[in-house]
């Protein structure tokens, strides 16, 4: 016999209240479904939780229900840029004759007497059965659920507002000013002749000299430019991308990402190009793009479409142009991109910092830099 509508709605409210307020899940808007609630938490034991209030009366209907669930999961996976995704499928009203067979990446469980009996689910959510407001009913339940969820939403909104709201940008403007100042100083000292020899004289990156002990070139080369258009293009890119990263990460993390990416880019350039002079801020800027990818991935529910439709295509396009056109140091671009991604992992993402991920980032970035150092100085 199907569950009454009143009882079903109360169970849905209890479950939604628990997963949102206790387990940090968020609602997902799914078009074309009725009597279902979809929740997501990319860091949860199940990335997707679906609460289904429809009556499942036989195996064929259960199979069709799983088919629908898989279809929506594919949509959510594309939206959140997730390689894999598992789901907890909570069925409120199931005929006792229906066997809830396990399916790939989907765990289905039926409520019995208003409780979840599955040991595997209770192991993930040990307090679920005594934190579902079981003693409250009717209007009291609705009021408590609404108030608790509103408080949780308000707290989350304050956190996200603190991250995404516009902040005073300092370091990006300072770096642009330094780059412009260095350009005009070198322009004057070289008597307007920015040829390879003059760029080398004033600090350009050149592998034989770096190997010979002039390691300062790994940084100074990132502040030199071969012409006014080279400078303007890089400074515009730095302004657009740098302001975003400094706003999201803060000024000190931004500086760490910028100079870590510059070091990575310069080392990669020396490792690949053993007889070429390289200059420009583009390696560090590619590192900022790598940081933007890392940040965007962690906040992909908010930036997923921007990451998929704008940032990643921009990176691929610039790398492709670098391979197709002469005079572009794509090794530096690739080195900066990898360095920016890894150092962002080491520094962590605000409000999403995880010690294990940060430790992995620190180790990986350190090994990566040591490998490049070995290639440049000891190979």
Give the residue numbers marked as catalytic: 282, 333
Q: Distance (Å, rounded) from C-alpha 25 to C-alpha 49? A: 8
Q: What is the DSSP string of 21-58?
A: HTT--EEE--TT-SSEEEEE-TTSSSSEEEEEEEEE-S
Q: Distance (Å, rounded) from C-alpha 10 to C-alpha 16? A: 10
Q: Are strands 106-112 and 87-94 parallel, antiparallel or unpaired?
A: parallel
Whether the CA torsion 137, 138, 140, 146 is positive or negative: it is positive
Q: Cβ contacts of residue 154 below 8 Å, gap of 6+?
A: none
Q: Distance (Å, rounded) from C-alpha 213 to C-alpha 223? A: 19
User: Which H or E run contains 138?
Assistant: helix 138-164
Tokens of 183: 């350009």
Q: Distance (Å, rounded) from C-alpha 273 to C-alpha 221? A: 14
Tokens of 242: 């740098």
| Residue from 112, 115, 108, 113 nearest 18 by CA | 115
Q: Are strands 48-56 and 87-94 parallel, antiparallel or unpaired?
A: parallel
| Residue from 306, 178, 184 nearest 248 by CA | 306
User: Which H or E run contains 112?
Assistant: strand 106-112
Tokens of 246: 């400094």
């Amino acid at each position: 016999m199907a569950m009454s509508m009143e009882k079903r709605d109360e169970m849905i409210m209890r479950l939604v209240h628990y997963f949102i307020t206790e387990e940090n899940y968020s609602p997902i808007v799914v078009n074309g479904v009725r009597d279902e609630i979809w929740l997501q938490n990319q860091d949860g034991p199940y990335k997707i939780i679906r609460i289904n209030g429809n009556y499942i009366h036989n195996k064929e209907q259960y199979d069709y229900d799983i088919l629908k669930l898989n279809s929506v999961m594919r949509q959510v996976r594309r939206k959140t840029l997730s390689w894999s995704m598992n789901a907890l499928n909570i069925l409120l009203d199931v005929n006792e004759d229906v066997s809830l067979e396990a399916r790939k990446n989907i765990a289905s469980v039926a409520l019995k007497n208003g409780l979840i009996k599955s040991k595997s689910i209770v192991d993930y959510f040990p307090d679920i059965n005594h934190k579902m407001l079981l003693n409250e009913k009717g209007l009291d339940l609705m009021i408590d659920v609404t108030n608790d969820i509103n408080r949780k939403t308000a707290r989350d909104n304050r956190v996200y507002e603190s991250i995404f709201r516009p902040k005073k940008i300092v370091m990006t403007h300072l770096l642009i000013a330094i780059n412009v100042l260095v350009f005009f100083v070198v322009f004057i000292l070289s008597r307007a002749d920015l040829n390879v020899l003059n760029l080398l004289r004033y600090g350009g990156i050149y592998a034989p000299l770096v190997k010979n002990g002039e390691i300062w070139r790994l940084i100074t080369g990132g502040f030199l430019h071969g012409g006014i258009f080279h400078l303007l293009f890089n400074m515009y890119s730095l302004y657009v991308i740098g302001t975003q990263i400094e706003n999201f990460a803060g000024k000190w993390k931004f500086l760490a990402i910028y100079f870590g990416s510059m070091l990575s880019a310069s080392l990669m350039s020396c490792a690949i190009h053993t007889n070429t002079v390289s200059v420009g801020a583009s390696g560090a800027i590619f590192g900022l793009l790598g940081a933007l990818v890392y940040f965007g991935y962690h906040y992909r529910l908010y930036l997923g479409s921007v990451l998929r439709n704008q940032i990643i295509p921009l990176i691929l396009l610039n790398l492709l142009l670098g391979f197709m056109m002469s005079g572009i140091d794509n090794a530096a671009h690739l080195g900066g991109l990898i360095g920016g991604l890894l150092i962002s992992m080491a520094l962590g993402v605000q409000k999403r910092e995880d010690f294990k991920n940060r430790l992995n980032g620190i180790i990986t970035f350190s090994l990566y830099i040591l490998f490049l150092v070995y290639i440049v100085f000891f190979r």
